[in-house]
């Protein structure tokens, strides 16, 4: 929560999957919108194609691929 509050403006909308660790109530109480997608059923919201997690999923896939390509396995390489 602290990292979100430090890096996102109040009122920002956060898109995520349905992992329990994303505490929707806390996000909403802090002034953020939170839209969730259940990947068991959809990767794009059937009612709004602009609601999806594809961009961030692709970014992480690219970061993991580059990490493996350079034979660097430490999470410190990704997160500093």
Residue pointed to by tokens 């410190």: 76
Q: Read off the pLDDT of residues 7-64 as tens digits, 9 standing for 90 and up.
A: 999 899 888 877 878 888 888 899 998 887 777 776 666 777 666 666 667 777 877 7
| Residue pair 14/34 in contact by the 8 Å Cβ criterion | yes
| DSSP bridge partners of 20 | none
pLDDT at 71 over 70: no
Which residues, listed in sequence order, are joined to residue 52 by a DSSP beta bridge?
Answer: 44
H helical segments located in 1-80: 2-7, 24-29, 54-69, 75-79
Q: Is the pLDDT of residue 73 over 70?
A: no
């Amino acid at each position: 929560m602290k990292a979100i509050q430090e890096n996102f403006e109040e009122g920002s909308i956060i898109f995520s999957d349905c992992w329990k660790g994303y505490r929707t109530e806390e996000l909403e109480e802090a002034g953020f919108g939170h839209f969730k997608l259940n990947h068991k059923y959809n990767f794009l919201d059937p009612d709004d194609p602009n609601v999806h997690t594809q961009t961030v999923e692709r970014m992480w896939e690219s970061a993991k691929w580059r990490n493996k390509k350079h034979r660097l396995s430490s999470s410190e390489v990704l997160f500093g």
